[in-house]
Structure 1
Amino acid sequence: MESGNANHEVETTSGITIKGILSLLMENIDADSGKRVVSLGMGDPSASTCFRTTRVAEDAVVDALQSQKFNGYSPTVGLPQTRRAIAEYLSRDLPYKLSSDDVFVTSGCTQAIDVALAMLARPGANILLPRPGFPIYELSAAFRYIEVRHYDLLPNKGWEVDLDAVQALADHNTVAMVIINPGNPCGNVYTDQHLKEIAETAEKLNVLVIADEVYGHLAFGDTPFVPMGRYGTIVPVLTLGSLSKRWIVPGWRLGWFVTSDPCGMFRNPKVVERIKKYFDLLGGPSTFIQAAVPQIIERTDEAFLEKNNDTLRQTADICCGRIGEIPCLACSDEPKGSMAMMVKLNLSLLKDISDDNDFCFKLAKEESVIILPGLALGLKDWVRITFAADPSSLEEGLGRTKSFCRRYAKQV
């Protein structure tokens, strides 16, 4: 792919989803190269042989399906037993108890994101989003006519929220700020203290916090995962999550939208009724998948969950080790959670590479390796690498990336 074409892609990638960008990269691969495609761009752990769901989850779905009790419609807000199981699961890490009325079952976390923004939309509203972040928020906000304002995450501080920037950006039309913890795309995990500071800042600004915790509990460093809902007594929190990552079942599309608000803002009858009416418009997950949730949560062995985190720690270490061998790439902070990391691209060491988009499209064409340009996530001249992959794929993909970078290295 010529550099000019890559520059054209720079203009288009900011307006499409990650899946759309990855599709463009796949189209750019040279099918005649004879090289197998190594994708380190998509956050789907089930595509790797080292990540498989537990038999408990599979059996729970089979049991629900074979019972023939769950072939009809479920309540639009979710099955009562599903809502209760999710409330109990999330309450394990909170200083208060959620009730089933606080939980609304969604078709994956993506639908939960759209519900959150739909509930907050009003004329003139704006929302504060992290940069880098997850592009679905921008897309949903555009459909809801919500203005987006980006605050920076600080790579030299473990990708913490720039709270000074948050305060400078917010005004009387700001309806919420979004945090993603553990972080996608950065691989960070926020400390308890930083979450408290976020809550206090949001309370000062009179905005609620949307806590995207789709990677909840996928923390394998020295910082344990703490849910934002722990500070629901300071500021109202909308907690968004799903089964997809922790149980390695993204295709099951089972997510949740939870009002973590013990002080009661979301218990206002008018607010509750509005949420329920909106869910009447939506199609939730399959009823038999919902019915399996209580058994999945109750019977999953802790050893399965620990093994996944151990594997992520190992693959993250491989990723960081191989990146350390490539002079033009640098990890600003080793990942402590989730399944992806941001890597700094030093263009001054490369010739004939104009930016991160150009880098990723040429890498796809010449080496059949897919990684995500940082521009797609709001951060120019960085790339996102997914380490939820088989070790052999990481070794091969980053080995080819090393060869690619050698070919384009400036002579000194």
Structure 2
Amino acid sequence: MGSMKKEHYWKFRPNADLETASTFSIKRVIDVVKTNLNQNDERALIPLSYGDPSAFSCFRTAQVAEDAVVEALASAKCNAYAPKGGIVQARRSLAGYLSRNLPYKLSADDVYVTLGAYQAIQVLLAALRRPGANILLPKPGYPAYEALSLVNHLEVRHFDLLQEQGWEVDLNGLETLADDKTVAMVIINPGNPCGNVFTRDHLHKIAETARRFGIPVIADEAYAHLTFGSNSFVPMGIFGMITPVFTVGSLSKRWMVPGWRLGWIARNDPNDIFSEHKIVECISRCLDSNASATTFIQAALPQILEKTTDDFFIKTLNILKKDADMCYEALKGIPCFTCLEKPQGSLFLMVKLDFSKLKGINDDMEFCSELAKEESVILLPGYVFKMKNWVRVTFGIDPLLLEDGLARIKTFCLRHTATKVC
């Protein structure tokens, strides 16, 4: 057969929105950093970039969770497609689990099971979008919101998190951002990438601000209850009487099973504002065209939520606290890192690079690339969070490996120091 002539006109083109959105992909940026690894370095690669503790044996999930999944799978009752929004027993169990910390009770109808928290975000942004709409996102914040807002043609407006105030929301700055086309504001608590945990008083102020703007809050609580500092976790849903709240959650982090891909959306809306404004109907339509979470994981959910003992959670938090303290103290002793806040929760902290203390390194990407090349340690450059010349450090790994990684980072900084200050 003859080849097609080059001058033939083909009408398809690449999706430019996806190309732009991919710049906010953590996986993509990590892959780019990894291209700099020295293949001759025989030391273990230390991943301080990606929030997945499940790779380490000290963070193995609860035995009751494993048993529940095995039982559900072996029953042969969970091989069919799941109904839209999730199996009713899973939704009912989630409603009970989330209601433990609320001043009112959720029902199964208030909860949607999703294919991980990422799909929950996709569904909410698709349901809320309209022509010319904008959404308020935290800076720094989880990049998936940025990427999915672009794909949904939502204008992004960033509000600052104030590092000098423990990464609280700049409530005064919000006043200049919101208008009659703002559809929601997003908060992430406990914080990714900052490791902050909002106080009850601050969450109350956020709710009052959102009410004044006439917008809902999307509360990303993927790291709910992973707190080990002075601030306890408080769900945003307790303020659902003030302003309607969508809670995004996941089994991934608290149970250390990100690969199980089970998340949820919960409507914290005792005044039924979402139904009145037909957002519930829009969510239902979005779920019509989305895949469901794996059926046997959903079937195991009631046992996982109801039978996991506190011993499992306490053990996890003790390791994370040890790791967080070690990470903070080690980085505090390296002069090229500034603006440290001791993490209160999640798996991360952000630090700023002081290039006056470094030679031959000019930005955050170059810092991470050279560190990978020379020490086989992977950090995440801050530009992916719109925080150029910062880096995110993940401390949710095996403590011995973390200690080794922190020592390598110090060695690297000493090697590249501009003056004899270390």
Q: What is the TM-score when the length of structure 2 is the normalising length?
A: 0.93
Provide the residue aligned with 2:38 in structure 1: 30
- 1:150 match: 158
Corresponding residue for residue 180 of structure 1: 188
Aligned 8 A contact 1:13 1:21 in 2: no
Report the AA paired with residue 138 of structure 1: E
Consecutive unaligned residues in structure 2, runs of 5 or more = 1-18
Question: Per-residue CA shift, 1:144-179, capped at 9, x if unaligned?
Answer: 000001111001100000011111111111111000
Mapped to 2, the partners of 1:178 and 1:269 lie a distance apart of 19
Deviation (angstroms), 1:271:
3.2
- The aligned counterpart of 2:391 is 383
Asked if structure 2 preserves the Cα contact closer than 8 Å seen for 1:219 and 1:309, the reply is yes
The one of 27, 41, 47 equivalent to 1:39 is 47
Contact 1:83 1:105 survives alignment (8 Å): yes
Aligned to 1:400: 408
- Matched residue of 2:37: which SS? coil
Q: Separation in 1 of the partners of 2:415 and 2:280?
A: 59
Paired with 2:85 and 2:418, the residues of 1 have a C-alpha distance of 58
Alpha-carbon distance between aligned partners in 1 of 2:205 and 2:67, rounded to the nearest angstrom: 42
Q: What amino acid is aligned across from residue 172 of structure 2 in structure 1? A: D
For 1:323 and 1:22, the matched residues in 2 are separated by: 21
- Aligned partner (choices 81, 88, 95) of residue 89 of structure 2: 81
Which residue identity does 1:67 align to in structure 2?
Answer: S
What is the match of residue 220 of structure 1?
Answer: 228
* Number of residue equivalences: 402
1:127-166 equivalence runs, <5 A: 127-166=135-174
How many angstroms apart in 2 are the aligned matches of 1:12 and 1:319?
A: 33
**What is the CA–CA distance in structure 1 between the aligned matches of 2:161 and 2:121, rounded to whole Å?**
20
Verify the 8 A CA contact 1:238 1:258 in the aligned structure 2.
yes
Q: Distance in 1 between matches of 2:41 and 2:281?
A: 57
Q: Does 1:364 align with 2:372?
A: yes
Q: Note the residue ranges of structure 1 that are not aligned, 5 or more in a row.
A: 1-10
Is structure 2 residue 68 aligned with structure 1 residue 60? Answer: yes
- Report whether the alignment pairs 1:276 with 2:293: no
**1:110 Cα deviation from its structure 2 partner:** 0.5
Aligned-partner Cα distance in 1 for 2:257–2:198: 25
Determine whether 1:103 maps to 2:111: yes
Q: Match of 1:327? A: 335
Runs of 4+ in 1 over 4 A off after TM superposition: 11-14
In 2, Cα distance between the equivalents of 1:376 and 1:278? 28
**Counterpart contact for 1:363–1:401, Cα < 8 Å:** yes
Query: Cα RMSD (Å) of the superposition?
Result: 1.5
Q: Aligned AA for 2:323?
A: T
Deviation at 1:310, TM superposition (A): 1.3
Distance 1:380 1:14 in 2: 17
User: Per-residue CA shift, 1:107-142, capped at 9, x if unaligned?
Assistant: 000110111100111000000100111110011011
Larger Rg: 2
Q: 2:265 & 2:206 partners in 1: Cα distance? A: 20
Q: Aligned in 2, Cα 1:330/1:393: closer, same or farther, shift over 3 Å? A: farther
Distance 1:306 1:351 in 2: 43
2:56 maps to which of 43, 48, 55: 48
Equivalent position of 1:351 in the other structure: 359
Secondary structure of residue in 2 paired with 1:149: strand
Q: Give the residue type in structure 2 aligned to 1:296.
A: I
1:338 equivalent in alignment to 2:378: no
Q: Hey, what does 1:239 align to over in structure 2?
A: 247
- CA displacement at 1:333 relative to structure 2: 1.2
How big is the shift at 1:352? 1.0
For residues 12 and 141 of structure 1, what CA distance do their matches in structure 2 show?
Answer: 11
Displacement of 1:326 after TM fit? 1.2
Q: Matches of residues 191-206 of structure 1 in structure 2 within 5 Å?
A: 191-206=199-214
Identity %: 54
Instruction: Verify: 1:249 aligned to 2:292, yes or no.
Output: no
Give the 3 Å change call, closer, same or farther, for CA 14–343 of structure 1 in structure 2. farther
Look up the match of 1:8: none
Residue identity opposite 2:223 in structure 1: Y
Q: Give the secondary-structure state (helix, strand or coil) at the position aligned to 2:49.
A: coil
Specify the SS of the correspondent of 1:168. coil
* TM-score, length-scaled by structure 1: 0.95
**2:27 maps to what in 1?**
19
The letter of the residue matching 1:232 is G
Following TM superposition, by how much is the alpha carbon of 1:26 offset from its aligned partner in structure 2, in angstroms? Answer: 1.3
Match of 1:4 in 2: none
Residue number in structure 2 paired with 1:123: 131
Q: Deviations over 1:80-130 (max 9, x none)?
A: 000000010000000010110010000000110111100111000000100
